[in-house]
Structure 1
Amino acid sequence: MKALIAATAMAVLASSGFAQESPVALAEAAVAQFHDAHSRLEAAQSASDRVKALTGVVQAYEEGLEAMRSGLRQVSLREAELSREFADESGQYAQLLGILVGMKPDASPEALVHPSGPLGQARAGMLVASVAPTVQAQVEDMRVRLEEVQILRELQNEALETLSQGLQEVQQARTELSQAMSDRTDLPQRFTTTPERIKTLIDSSETLEAFASGLAVMDVVDGISPLPDLGSAQGSWPMPVPGRMLRNFNEADAAGVKRPGWLWAARPLSLVTTPWPATLRYKGPFLDYGNVIILEPANDVLLILAGLDEVYGDIGAVLPAGTAVGLMGGAAPDLDDFVENATQGTGVSLSETLYIEVREGGQPVNPEHWFAGAPL
């Protein structure tokens, strides 16, 4: 059925002149991404590096959810557009049919012998002949659009079945990833510390700056697992989580407070990853920042991520680039909420906030120096 829908959809697209990024193509792509994520989840069960495999699975599902949002939204808009077109044109077609019925040829002798009969019949015949090709073209156009509506609805039904399964499986993947991170013991340790030392530092730090500065001077055993050189890495880091900028570096908020970092909007339960190999210097709550992750990609360079709901990893471990370090907060949407928000373009899709700060030599710097394609 899926192959038949896809083949018919492509034929309709070709005949109606729609580009590849049509609602039909977007919906098909979203369904395909979910099927791919499902296959990757099954493969992750036997992967030698389950953390890496499950990280990829969660990211694949997140990409599939984003594609599904876009696909359902465009399908809904296109179906509404077609409905409006049919409503607007139905009255016009009714009037046209009424006129043509009233102008039907009359071959009776009375019509032909009437003084104006033959002339009237000739004019009517000429008018009908000139209108008929246009009416036929419009009928064919309506047939194509009706087929498109049918395809859109079939794709919606298939997408909803896939989405229902996907929403359950992405949560399963997140849970398995959290467990796999807790069980992980294969990462090299660059240093060790005690909970007492961390607690003492937290208790004596009144600001995030003071806490980060204290961490920076804690003992580190160098040489156990050297980190890649950061010399050529500036401007190349990927963002820790997809989203958009809320407040830029040192930009004042509504209360006039400035912070030396970015405030970044993200979707609920999004996976947060480290953009560069780094030592995990701290994970856990701090003041009113929520859960905080502090990474050290090089000596005298710290990356601070604050506002996570769940954090992963062992303090002192050296994390490869792309390693999951936590999840954003928020609640998982149910099927009805997801569909309503997607089709109507409403909802709190980027409701979670991540604070991103980079410090060099103990001083904050604009994160745009490090992250690729710094957003405006």
Structure 2
Amino acid sequence: MSHRHCSTSCIYRRRRSLAGCRSSPLSSTMRSVPERRHIVSLALAGLLSAAPMPALPESMEPGDLESLQREIDTTRERQLELEEQAAAARADAEALRRRLIDTAARVQSFEADVSDSETRLAGLQGAEAVLNAQLEQRRGEMADLLAALSRLDRHPPPALAARPDDALASLRSALLLGAVVPELQADARELRDRLEQLAALRQSILDERVTLEESQTSLEAERRELQALLDRQLERQTRLTREAESEQARADGLSRQATDLSDLISRLEAGAANRLPAARPDPAMPPAAQPKPAGPPPGTKEAETRDYAMLRPPAAAPAMPSSRRFSDAKGLIRPPAAGVIFRTYGSKNPGGGTTKGITISTRPDAQIVAPFDGRIAYAGPFRQYGQLLIISVGEGYHILLAGMNRIDCVVGQSVLAGEPVGMMGAAPAGRGTTSDRNTSEHADMAGAGPALYIEFRKEGNPVDPRPWLLMSDEKVRG
């Protein structure tokens, strides 16, 4: 009875306290055990609201509080440890991407150095062959010249004072030699210069071969490092395979339904719009102006002239606009590979149609990098394009790369500008690449290196890639 009275009194005093009335100090010490348990439960619930914890039992003995506190501390320590590990993993992933980009840039630089060295070596060998042919044609003249010089050295012209009776013959010989000797000396100097030129060419060839071997050795070392980094990245990406496989399956399904590239891109964008909120356009951003054609109109004689532009990755990464908008990066986008443009946008192809992109001839096993930041929308075979890679770069723009022998990224993956995404083959892998009309884009490059097809699209419509690409001023006429 006294216990019930005490409980009732405590409850009454508690209600008065909650109503704003002052209770005596004794009231705080007379709370019942259930009340204290309830207060402890409320306090623990407040402490554990920030971290997931097992549900507390409705009743807890006072002795369990210390054990629970230790469990809370252990959980918090584990949570902090996991957060630190996650931050370290993010930093490691970012550092890995930067190393991939830097290594891929060095690979492309060495590829360009090897190509330049091979070009110089071919020029030196050609000059040597021409000089050898010229010397071979004049072999008879050189033999007569050497014989005449030898006779002149052994039998110099007679002195007029030695034999007065033979003065007329000596005078005739002197006049003849006076006319012949300068010509012989000129021929001798020309022969000497050509022989010295030939010796210098041969030494230059030897030096260039050493340079070429060093560049090839450096290239192979950088490729091995790049492959090791790609393997490491692949191990990290295996944790995301389920999502990637789901995206790839969706893309494959769309590719089977699509009739051409425009249809494929429309389906990919429609699928992405269903999964992601649409980006609101910037009202301060004016509509992008139509790019002016970089060359003469297709079909003119100027357009038919083969004036091939060199594509070489910049020694240093170009300064991108702070907005990182694709439309603001005209003239600043690094090419996906080093090479020579041999088919331009809008030119005629052997099938009678016009090309919707550009095609460049690369060296065998050339490294392919992402030209701009974006997301991989498609990666895999697509109709006559062979291995096709589509990168969504925002604002309705897509970059299409075809003709690669290997693709090193997956659908849904985010890539940075300069990040490796694939590699060309040893043989001309792009010969079979065709446009939407099934007309060959590469049929006139027999005997050249692998061909990479590049296409830029805005809202599914092809645009000329050249205003965006950072191209060298060097030209190769064919």
* TM-based fold match above 0.5: yes
Question: 1:39-118 maps to which residues of 2 (within 5 A)?
Answer: 49-99=98-148, 101=151, 104-106=156-158, 112-114=163-165, 117-118=166-167
Residue 233 (structure 1) aligns with: 329
Letter in 2 for 1:282: Y
Residue 461 (structure 2) aligns with: 363
Q: Residue 149 of structure 1: SS of its match in structure 2?
A: helix
Q: Which string of whole-angstrom CA distances, capped at 9 and with x for unpartnered residues, describes residues 114-166 of structure 1?
A: 4xx21221332354356545544543443343333233323433444554565
Question: 1:259-274 maps to which residues of 2 (within 5 A)?
Answer: 259-274=355-370
Q: Residue 163 of structure 2: SS of its match in structure 1?
A: helix
Q: Count residues in correspondence.
A: 308
Residue 214 (str. 1) matches residue 267 (str. 2): yes
Counterparts of 2:451 and 2:461, CA distance in 1: 23
Residue 449 (structure 2) aligns with: 351
Counterparts of 2:361 and 2:225, CA distance in 1: 25
Counterparts of 2:343 and 2:416, CA distance in 1: 28
Q: Is the CA contact (8 Å cut-off) linking 1:227 and 1:278 kept in structure 2?
A: no
* Cα offset, 1:228, TM superposition: 0.9
Counterparts of 1:197 and 1:307, CA distance in 2: 23
Residue 243 (str. 1) matches residue 339 (str. 2): yes
Asked which structure has the greater RCO (Cα within 8 Å, sep 6+), the reply is 1
Q: In 2 relative to 1, CA 108–140 (structure 1 residues): closer, same or farther, beyond 3 Å? A: closer
Counterparts of 2:399 and 2:378, CA distance in 1: 11
User: Identity of aligned pairs, percent?
Assistant: 25
Unaligned runs of 5+ in 1: 1-46, 333-346
Residue 38 (structure 1) aligns with: none
Residue 45 (structure 2) aligns with: none
* Cα offset, 1:309, TM superposition: 0.8
Unaligned runs of 5+ in 2: 1-95, 280-321, 429-444
Letter in 2 for 1:302: H
Counterparts of 2:418 and 2:204, CA distance in 1: 34
Q: In 2 relative to 1, CA 180–348 (structure 1 residues): closer, same or farther, beyond 3 Å? A: farther
Counterparts of 2:170 and 2:146, CA distance in 1: 18
| TM-score, normalised with respect to structure 1 | 0.67
Q: In 2 relative to 1, CA 327–203 (structure 1 residues): closer, same or farther, beyond 3 Å? A: same
Residue 170 (structure 2) aligns with: 121
Letter in 2 for 1:112: R
Q: Is the CA contact (8 Å cut-off) linking 1:278 and 1:319 kept in structure 2?
A: yes
Counterparts of 1:292 and 1:179, CA distance in 2: 24
* Cα offset, 1:87, TM superposition: 2.9
Q: Which string of whole-angstrom CA distances, capped at 9 and with x for unpartnered residues, describes residues 90-133 of structure 1?
A: 43344345556377324699x8254xx21221332354356545
Q: In 2 relative to 1, CA 92–250 (structure 1 residues): closer, same or farther, beyond 3 Å? A: closer
Q: Is the CA contact (8 Å cut-off) linking 1:279 and 1:318 kept in structure 2?
A: yes
Q: Which string of whole-angstrom CA distances, capped at 9 and with x for unpartnered residues, describes residues 59-86 of structure 1?
A: 1221122122222112112222322333
Letter in 2 for 1:272: I
Q: In 2 relative to 1, CA 162–372 (structure 1 residues): closer, same or farther, beyond 3 Å? A: closer
The counterpart of 1:284, out of the listed 380, 405, 415, is 380
Letter in 2 for 1:299: E
Residue 303 (structure 1) aligns with: 399
Q: Residue 367 of structure 1: SS of its match in structure 2?
A: coil
Counterparts of 2:128 and 2:408, CA distance in 1: 44
* Cα offset, 1:172, TM superposition: 4.9
| TM-score, normalised with respect to structure 2 | 0.55
Q: Residue 118 of structure 1: SS of its match in structure 2?
A: helix
Q: Is the CA contact (8 Å cut-off) linking 1:267 and 1:349 kept in structure 2?
A: no
Letter in 1 for 2:163: L
Q: Which moved more, 1:199-208 or 1:243-252?
A: 243-252
Q: Residue 378 of structure 2: SS of its match in structure 1?
A: strand
Q: In 2 relative to 1, CA 135–367 (structure 1 residues): closer, same or farther, beyond 3 Å? A: same
Q: Is the CA contact (8 Å cut-off) linking 1:268 and 1:350 kept in structure 2?
A: no
Residue 151 (structure 1) aligns with: 200
Q: Residue 211 of structure 1: SS of its match in structure 2?
A: helix
Q: Is the CA contact (8 Å cut-off) linking 2:111 and 2:363 kept in structure 1?
A: no
Q: Is the CA contact (8 Å cut-off) linking 2:160 and 2:170 kept in structure 1?
A: no
Counterparts of 1:250 and 1:373, CA distance in 2: 18
